[in-house]
Every structure is written in C-alpha cells, then in structure tokens.
C-alpha cells in the first residue's frame, strides 16, 4: 500500500489513475482511508461516485467488492447465506455412514465451509479491500439497519457460527443518488460529501485525460455544451459519465469539433430521455455555435 500522508498525496495518486479529484473530494477520501470511516458520497447520477471507489481500490492495490443495492435486498444477499444444497448432501452422507448424533451433525453442518460469503462478509474477510455499497437509497430501511450494524464495528454475527470481525476494516464508499433520505444513524457513522457536477475546466481536463484521441477543441466544445444542458433543467442532466460517452461517440465518428449536425446525430449518447431530446431540439440548445456558458446551475439543484 502506498504511503498516503496528506490529501494532496492522495489527489496525486488519484491523478495517476486518471481520476481527477478536487480538494474536497481528495480530503474526503483521505480521511476515509486514514480514519477508517465509511465515506458517504451523495450527488446526481454520473458525477463519478462509483468511479472513485474503483480508483481507490486500484491505488490501494486492493480488490473492489461491490454491493449493488435494490429494494428488498436482504441479509442472505448482502451478508452471507448457508449453502443448503451442500449441507443436505453432507447430512445424507453422514446418515449413510451411520452417524446419528444430532449435536455433532449440527456442528459439522454449520461450519465456515458451508457458508457462502456475500459482499459485506467478503469485505470483512478480505484484507485489504475496498467495499462499495452502491446506490444505498435504492435499498429499503430494513437493509439500512443491518448495514449500520456492519459499518459500526465491522463485525458480522452469525447465530450458528459466532462473530466474524475484520482485522483491518475495509475502506468503505457508500453512494446515494438521493432518491430517498437515508437514515441519519447511518450517515453519522460516515463522512459526508456532496459531489457536484465538475466545473468547466475540470471537465475538459477529465475528457482529455480519459480519451487519448480527444483534441482540446473537441473537449472544450463538449464540456461547454454539457454545461449548457445541465443549466437547461432537464429530466436527467448529463453527468460526467454521459459527457465521456458523448465525446467518445464523437471521436468514433472522427469529429474534431462539435457542430449542430454532429450534436443532433449523437444526442442519444448524452441524453437518455425522449423528453430531454425534444426539449433540446425545440429550444435549439445545441444549434448555435457553442458560446461561453456560466456555471450557474450547479448550486441551486438538489436542495431538499
């Protein structure tokens, strides 16, 4: 593991792995690593929340263990499950061999080798590791309760087996798109960071870094257009992920700059809602040659 002794060092390391982080995010990630506290990242979809976890894993040379949340996610999917098919086989075999002591059988059956580790347990058992709990707002409140238990002391209690705890806790990144307010008890265990869309300069830098063939002209055209789309109050304002897709699509078409015709045919790479595409066409948002745009939209969005 590399020596991370300040937010600036971490920012540099992230930079080496082509993830450009500003001071706030670098400090957040640095503290998460140093304090052993989960990092709760909130922000619009596509601002690089998931990507941060992946990059941290690459930097720390640790495997990334990902838990994608969904409604109804339960302990058997998130923590552990017993491999009951193998347990039954073992029982049958023991029966055939003439073993009859129920107490001994129970001890054999509820053994670590019959336990299937799901992401949370796997993260505690893998050292070092980076645990990504993705889109926690999609899970329900029952899931939050046992996630809280795991993140509080990095232990999992299995009634049949005992307590499993992490020797060194994994680096945890929890992301949320804020479709639902996550319980405060969970948040207070974490460091909280609200991730904004990148500003114009940062976005250009990201495009240039991530897409080797991209010219500065194309990158700034795309970033400017993306800024304009974000200011346009769409159903789904494009995140950095969409901007990257868009620039890549343009590159594939051999474009050196963004013009209205190219924008029209590649719109599907950046706007994924029919309403948004119609709004953009009706208001001719991408028709004029790109003029400078002010970054005014960001501060006002997402306040509850």
Partner 1 sequence: MADSAGGHPGTGRSAPPGPGTPREALAATLTGFARTLRAAGVGADHERTQSFLAALGHLDAARERDVYWAGRLTLCAVPGDIPRYDRCFAAYFSGLRPRPDRAATSVTVTRPTALPYGAEPEGTGEAGALPATASRIEVLRHRDVARMSEAERREVGALLALLDGARERRRSRRFRPAARGRLDGRRTVREAVRHGGDPARLLLRAHRDRPRRVVMAVDVSGSMAAYSDTLLRFAHALVRAQPAATEVFSAGTRLTRITAELRHRDPDRAMAACSAAIPDWSGGTRLGEEIKELLRLPDPRGAIVVIASDGWERGPAELLGAQMARLSRTAHRVIWVNPHKGDPEYRPLTAGIRAALPYVSDFVAGHSLAAFEDLAALLAGARARGPEGGGADA
For residue 41, give the nearest of 155, 153, 156, 171 by alpha carbon.
171
- 1/85 with CB nearer partner 1: 85
Which of 12, 18, 99, 252 touches partner 1 (CB under 8 A)? 99
Range in contact with partner 1 (rule: CB under 8 A) among 115-123, 185-193, 205-213, 255-263 = 185-193
Contact between 98 and partner 1 per CB under 8 A:
no
Q: What angle do CA 190, 196, 201 make, to 5 degrees?
A: 135
Task: For residue 23, state whether it binds partner 1 (rule: CB under 8 A).
Answer: yes
Residue 291 sits in the site that holds partner 1 (CB under 8 A): no
Cα 288 versus chain centre, distance: 35
Give me the least distance between CB of 67 and partner 1, in Å please.
15
Under 8 Å between Cβ of 164 and 121: yes
Which of 15, 17, 37, 210 is the binder for partner 1 (CB under 8 A)? 37
Q: Which is nearer to partner 1, 54 or 138 (CB)?
A: 138
Instruction: Write each residue from 100 to 129 as x if it is in contact with partner 1 (CB under 8 A), else as -, in one continuous string.
Output: x-x--xx--x--------------------
Q: Is 133 in the site for partner 1 (CB under 8 A)?
A: no
Among 10, 20, 27, 166, binds partner 1 (CB under 8 A): 27
Residue from 17, 178, 209, 272 that binds partner 1 (CB under 8 A)? 178
Q: Which of 142, 153, 216, 261 binds partner 1 (CB under 8 A)?
A: 142
CB-based contacts of 51, cutoff 8 Å, min separation 6: 19, 241
- Among 198, 227, 238, 239, interactor with partner 1 by CB under 8 A: 198
Cis peptide upstream of residue 128 (ω within 30 degrees of 0):
yes
Binding status of residue 12 toward partner 1 by CB under 8 A: no
Task: Name 132's bridge partners.
Answer: 66, 173
CB of 99 to partner 1, least distance (A): 8
Touching partner 1, residues 217-276 (CB under 8 A): 235, 275
Residue recorded with tokens 């939209």: 297
Residue 80 contacts residue 115 (beta carbons within 8 Å): yes
- 3 scored as a contact of partner 1 (CB under 8 A): no
Contact 214, 258 (CB under 8 A): no
Joined tokens for residue 153: 């002391």
Span from 31-39, 49-57, 60-68, 247-255 in contact with partner 1 (CB under 8 A): 31-39
Q: Which stretch binds partner 1 (CB under 8 A): 127-135, 136-144, 208-216, 241-249?
A: 136-144
Q: Write out the residues near partner 1 by the rule CB under 8 A.
A: 7, 22-24, 27-28, 30-31, 34-35, 37, 42, 70-74, 76, 81-82, 84-85, 87-88, 91-92, 94-95, 99-100, 102, 105-106, 109, 137, 141-142, 178-181, 184, 187-188, 191-194, 196, 198-199, 202, 235, 275, 295, 298-299, 302-304
């Amino acid at each position: 593991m590399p020596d991370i002794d300040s937010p600036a060092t971490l920012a540099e390391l992230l930079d080496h792995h082509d993830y450009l982080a500003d001071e706030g995010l670098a400090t957040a990630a640095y503290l998460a690593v140093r304090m052993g506290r989960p990092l709760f990242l909130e922000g619009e979809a596509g601002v690089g929340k998931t990507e941060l976890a992946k990059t941290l894993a690459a930097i720390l040379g640790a495997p990334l263990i990902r838990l994608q949340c969904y409604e109804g996610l339960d302990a058997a999917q998130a923590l552990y499950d017993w491999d009951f098919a193998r347990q039954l086989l073992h029982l049958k075999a023991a029966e055939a061999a003439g073993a009859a002591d129920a107490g001994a059988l129970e001890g054999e059956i509820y053994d670590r080798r019959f336990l299937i580790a799901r992401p949370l347990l796997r993260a505690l058992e893998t050292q070092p590791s980076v645990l990504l709990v993705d889109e926690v707002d999609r899970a329900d409140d029952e899931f939050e309760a046992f996630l809280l238990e795991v993140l509080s002391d990095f232990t999992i209690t299995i009634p049949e087996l005992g307590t499993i705890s992490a020797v060194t806790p994994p680096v945890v990144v929890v992301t949320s798109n804020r479709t639902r307010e996550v319980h405060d008890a969970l948040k207070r265990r974490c460091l909280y960071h609200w991730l904004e869309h990148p500003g114009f300069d940062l976005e250009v830098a990201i495009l240039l870094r991530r897409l080797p063939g991209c010219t500065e002209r194309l990158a700034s055209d795309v970033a400017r257009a993306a800024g304009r789309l974000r200011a346009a109050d769409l159903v789904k304002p494009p995140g950095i992920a969409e901007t990257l897709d868009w620039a890549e699509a343009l590159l594939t078409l051999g474009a050196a700059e963004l013009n209205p015709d190219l924008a029209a045919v590649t719109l599907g790479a950046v706007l994924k809602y029919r309403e948004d595409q119609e709004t953009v066409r009706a208001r001719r948002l991408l028709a004029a040659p790109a003029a400078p745009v002010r970054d005014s939209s960001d501060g006002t969005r997402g306040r509850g």
